[in-house]
Structure 1
């Protein structure tokens, strides 16, 4: 099984937006409104690609998932009691194609995030997800993240769970 993680390119957009559409349908099936027609949009991913912050994971030549990794923290993070006061790598806009779920793709992307942080001399990671997103909340905990608290975000009805991880 050949798995490659690489920087996304504009030619990947069609596959990425296809995964987004499938993910939104799935999220709606369990009453999760984290993603919708307003967010995330193609322009968000074009911006991520131009800044070289978007990464795709390929399995046998097909895009199985993606994540945006950078040092950009939502201003809402300022309200929380983070363990460290230092620059962190932040995980945004992550999804795995439903066709590739339950195959460790999400875990591979999270491991890649750890490695990318260390390559950039950072030991601190932060992320968040909607409280009504059980899959992502479980993935973060499984990958060693600790819950820091909750924040109101994107005008959503329920709070977002915020997580951190300190690398050794």
Structure 2
């Protein structure tokens, strides 16, 4: 899947040329999280190296409006090994990571586009489940996950992060 046109928005795979804009959006999102009192994205992670990896593995996507990047997210078709203690890795799934929206597009329901895209990709790739995790204090993401009917699975840790606890959510996709 290389690009998808939705209304006046285009979703496409990110390239190395997009990295500076992706980092800027990450910084904007980090400041919003800090303002909200959320200790997520307050350190080095996700780092430039993480975003480069996502781009190289073709996990990183961007949303453009009028040829201007306004949001980014990573969509992995592989199972996230950190979830193994909570879920069955034999069920075909995809994993969402690192959703962020630019300041200019914040509040414009860009996440609606992302969540429709994620479900469409699950169907295209014949995945039965979508997984996403978030920080326990990230009330904006927790509200979105409820809105899109994701079910709470449990608590786990990303051991490499300074504040490692995350909530895992899942949505089952019907063919």
Native 8 Å contact 1:132 1:158 kept in 2: no
Instruction: Give unpaired runs (5+ residues) of structure 1.
Output: none
Native 8 Å contact 2:74 2:98 kept in 1: yes
Aligned equivalent of 2:132, options 127, 133, 146: 127
Instruction: Give unpaired runs (5+ residues) of structure 2.
Output: 1-6
Instruction: State the aligned residue count.
Output: 167
Question: Is 1:142 matched with 2:147?
Answer: yes
Question: Higher helix fraction: Structure 1 or Structure 2?
Answer: 1
Aligned to 2:52: 46
| Superposition deviation, residue 143 in structure 1 | 1.3
Native 8 Å contact 1:67 1:92 kept in 2: yes
Deviation >6 Å, runs of 4+: none
- TM-score where L is the length of structure 1: 0.90
Native 8 Å contact 1:34 1:156 kept in 2: no
- TM-score where L is the length of structure 2: 0.87
Within-5 A mapping of 1:15-54: 15-54=21-60
| Superposition deviation, residue 100 in structure 1 | 0.9
Within-5 A mapping of 1:8-157: 8-80=14-86, 82=87, 85-153=90-158, 154-157=160-163
| Superposition deviation, residue 10 in structure 1 | 0.9
* Whole-Å separation in 2 of the counterparts to 1:11 and 1:157: 31
* Whole-Å separation in 2 of the counterparts to 1:52 and 1:133: 26
